[in-house]
């Protein structure tokens, strides 16, 4: 009933923008964008591998048939897929103490102790989702590939994280040019079990609801540089990864924390306007004082957004409500 408005360059209202009002509306927020697919991109490790391409399509079909309220499907992964997991897990485990932030280390250890993350086979997203839900209320929902920024960010407003099911190509356990289930599990899941990371992610999501295209662009850039590729600086001056896209990629994790790339402080005014690389290492990494500090900076920055409403989450009804319309 209460509509959000889309503004043109002259700030004239031109169109209403639909956005989800209840967690079940996320069934309409699963639009896949085709970018770094093995069917399209010769640099993709699975390029030309027909069997791999067919397997991904199969898993994406399962994900795309998911509806709100369904149990998360239990996927029977193949021996080769489990082997890719084993390799990625073992490589990343070596870097955990030296290259990842405290929040990550604490949460992945707890998840291993609880048996929801194991070294030898791909963990169950259903069990992981139940675990994270108990800690922060975040839950997983399967999706069939890389989503549009608007849809992906909208789900975060409801503490829902849309996760892919397919596995990176067996020839490249150390890096995947797009999200895959190893990235979701080893990169994101332990971070969503952290209350501050859960809050930061949800606030980005709430800001995205009904936002203009240029605001979506800026929010997804911020999401990218903090939640996917963010670093924090420890008291001893070393960099540690906060970002899930670093934590799940053996090569880039070492690169990002080394002196090779440039490091700049995370400052939404500056960071939101940068361009980023999808399939290569990032040209620059942004360093936050802490997750809390990143959140405070984001809140300050968001005050400049031209929004006709403020969106607030009601966790009891799982709805988003609008207040302070002007
Ligand atoms: N490059 C990451 C990995 O190898 O795990 C996956 C991605 C995260 C974000 C974009 S691509
Ligand atoms: Fe991701």
Whether ligand 1 lies within 6 angstroms of the CB of 169 is answered as: no
Instruction: Provide the H-helix boundaries in the chain.
Output: 50-64, 79-99, 102-113, 125-136, 149-157, 181-182, 189-192, 195-208, 213-223, 244-247, 250-257, 268-271, 291-302
Active site residue 248: yes
Q: What is the pLDDT of residue 202?
A: 98
Helix or strand or coil: residue 174? coil
Ligand in closest contact with the CA of 184: 2
- Catalytic residue (one of 175, 183, 184, 252): 183
Cα(222) to ligand 1 centroid in Å equals 16
Q: What is the pLDDT of residue 10?
A: 56
pLDDT < 70: residue spans in the chain: 1-15, 308, 324-326
**Tokens coding 228:** 């996917």
Q: What is the pLDDT of residue 304?
A: 82
Q: Is the ipTM of this complex over 0.90?
A: yes
Atom 2 in ligand 1: residue holding the nearest Cα: 245
Whether ligand 1 lies within 6 angstroms of the CB of 248 is answered as: yes
- Whether 210 contacts 19, CB under 8 Å: yes
**Residues making up the chain, counted from first to last:** 326
Mean pLDDT, the chain, integer: 92
Ligand in closest contact with the CA of 278: 1
Whether ligand 1 lies within 6 angstroms of the CB of 208 is answered as: no
Residue 65: Cβ within 10 Å count:
11
Residue 230 zone, left/alpha/beta (φ > 0; ψ -120 to 50; rest) = beta
Cα(179) to ligand 2 centroid in Å equals 6
Tens digits of residue pLDDT in 194-240 = 999 999 999 999 999 989 899 999 999 999 999 999 999 988 889 99
Q: What is the pLDDT of residue 324?
A: 64
Active site residue 188: yes
């Amino acid at each position: 009933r209460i509509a959000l408005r889309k503004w043109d360059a002259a700030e004239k209202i031109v169109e209403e923008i639909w956005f989800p009002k209840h967690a079940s509306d996320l069934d309409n927020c699963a639009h896949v964008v085709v970018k770094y697919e093995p069917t399209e991109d010769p640099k993709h490790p699975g390029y030309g591998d027909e069997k791999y391409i067919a397997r991904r399509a199969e898993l994406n079909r399962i994900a795309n048939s998911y509806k709100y309220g369904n149990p998360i499907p239990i996927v029977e992964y193949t021996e080769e897929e489990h082997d890719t997991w084993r390799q990625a897990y073992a490589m990343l485990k070596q870097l955990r103490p030296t290259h990842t932030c405290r929040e990550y280390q604490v949460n992945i250890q707890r998840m291993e102790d609880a048996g929801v993350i194991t070294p030898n086979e791909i963990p169950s997203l259903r069990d992981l989702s139940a675990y994270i839900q108990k800690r922060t209320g975040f839950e997983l929902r399967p999706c069939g590939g890389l989503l549009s920024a608007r849809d992906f960010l909208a789900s975060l407003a409801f503490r829902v994280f849309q996760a892919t099911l397919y596995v990176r190509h067996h020839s490249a356990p150390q890096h995947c040019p797009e999200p895959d289930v190893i990235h979701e599990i080893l990169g994101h899941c332990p971070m969503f079990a952290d209350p501050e990371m859960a809050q930061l992610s949800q606030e980005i999501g709430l800001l995205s609801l009904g936002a203009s295209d240029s605001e979506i662009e800026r929010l997804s850039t911020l999401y990218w540089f903090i939640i996917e590729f963010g670093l924090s600086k420890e008291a001893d001056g070393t960099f540690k990864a906060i970002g899930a896209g670093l934590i799940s990629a053996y090569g880039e994790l070492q690169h990002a924390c080394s002196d090779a790339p440039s490091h700049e402080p995370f400052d939404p005014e500056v960071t939101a306007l940068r361009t980023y690389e999808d399939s290569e290492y990032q040209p620059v990494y942004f360093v936050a004082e802490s997750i809390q500090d990143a959140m405070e900076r984001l809140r300050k920055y968001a005050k400049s957004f031209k929004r006709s409403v403020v969106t607030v989450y009601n966790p009891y009804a799982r709805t988003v409500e609008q207040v302070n319309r002007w």
